[in-house]
Amino acid sequence: MVKFNFNKVNGTKVTVIFENIEYNSKLLQYTKERELFSGKLKEVYANLPFEGEKEILLGFGKKEDLLEDDIRKVFFKLGKELIRFKEQEVYLQLVELENLGIKSLVNAVVEGLLHATYKFDKYKSNRKDYPEITINLITEEDSSLLESCVKEAQDVISGIFFARDLVNERAEYLYPESLANIAKNELTQLGVEVEVYDEKQCEELGLKGLLAVGRASTRKPRFIVMKYINDKTNDEVIGLVGKGVTYDTGGYSIKQTANSMDIMHCDMGGAGTVLGTMKLIATRKVKTNVIGIIGACENMISGSSYKPGDIIPTLSGKTVEVLNTDAEGRLTLADAIYYGASKLNPECIIDVATLTGACIQALGSRVIGAVSNNDEVFAKIKESADFMGEYLWRFPVYEEHKESVKGKVGDLLNVTAPGTGGAITAGVFLEHFVENTPWVHLDIAGPSYSNSAWGTNPEGASGTPVKTLYNFVKKYNKK
């Protein structure tokens, strides 16, 4: 728990130090002489005597090079140090930056400090909550205007933490039915209409791709539709579709265990992102219309499993030739995307999925890969990702990619041959179900979940790209 005040001088002093500026500070002179601290970016030196004046030096690097995301990371580091040293109250003077407004500065400060408090320890028998930390920000700006910045940053982090908790939750406890219950419980109270379709109702809807993937599990699929309608003056609706495979064995194309099947509770990262975004926009009461769609299932192994070589029909009427049962996500997304495109008439569709290992091979584990059929909508997503400090890169699509997904027995193949650009062809596959709706596919296989901490993200789920989607939705109709 972190509490923020303005213009209250209390607690331990935190001093921002730029690397290339001279200061009249004995403590700084001491740390420089002993090469303990010089103001480099993300350096922290804590002078915390038992008695006497306490002060923490915070390195901001070179003033002309400083970016908003740098500030976020600096205050993340400060937050971790405050927790480590059990410092429960600090104050600091907000600095003026030519390339960054005060609102953006406050946002980065708050986000960084709050990120430092995340942990997923609900199953630890000796877990302890962090003590409350009070941050006093000193500024000559109108603090009443900045308080709204603090509140928005707090809400954004809350949405990210909600997504992280969902993705970190183990499949023993998070499965299609429980995911649907969470969506209903969390979102209905915020004014979101949540419709949940059980297995029989999914059959009536014709969601044959989703049902094929989920039929081997004793925990049957759920189809979740979340409607946030808060702009009666506008008929436009944004569609968000999240992959909701709550556990993935790979099916008969079975995964190895280590660093693969053992972390496949995270294969609903797209669903977690959509739920976190829906909760955030509803909490913020954003004036917009958004419909979120999740096809939730488990990809398990039994005598009733779908098999390599099967021909699976989909809601669209197109058939899919299954070459690999571990390429299950695109089957569930095919139905969810087509349902959104054909029945809800959205202005655009953004699908989010932990879809391919090929995306990680192509871009590394920190970058979202994108495929899109619309330059304008993609540009808005890219601008939002850049603004919010999340990494996004668009893949090129050529005729060879489009040819490679065509089936020999069915209409489409669910995987393509090695060397054909698996992250691209997965997106090309999904495009067959968008019905010409402007669409962007976001493959978050890399940044959604990690075995090590990076940036302001902890080990495990990151909540990527809740911030990007929130900013996209908020600004979509304003340009």
DSSP letter string, 195-230: EEE-HHHHHHHT-HHHHHHHTTSSS--EEEEEEEE-
Token pair 């709706």 is found at 437
**Strand pairing partners for 72?**
none
Write out the two tokens for 371.
Answer: 């495929």
Per annotation, catalytic residue among 208, 227, 330, 382: 330
Question: If DSSP codes are grouped into helix, strand and coil, which group holds residue 374?
Answer: coil
Neighbouring C-alpha atoms within 13 Å toward the C-beta of 39: 21
Those residues with Cβ within 8 angstroms of residue 152's Cβ, 6 or more apart along the chain or in another chain: 107, 284
Write out the two tokens for 377.
Answer: 């909508």
To the query of whether residue 255 is one of the catalytic residues in this protein, the response is yes
**Distance of alpha carbon 412 from alpha carbon 405, whole angstroms:** 6
279 in Cβ contact with 253 (< 8 Å): no
To the query of whether residue 330 is one of the catalytic residues in this protein, the response is yes
Query: How do beta strands 289-299 and 238-248 pair?
Result: parallel
Q: Centre a 10 Å sphere on the Cβ of residue 188 and count the other Cβ atoms it contains.
A: 13
Per annotation, catalytic residue among 54, 63, 255, 394: 255
111 in Cβ contact with 157 (< 8 Å): yes
**CA–CA distance from 423 to each of 261, 274, 280, 438, 461 (Å)?**
20, 21, 29, 19, 21
What residues act catalytically?
255, 330
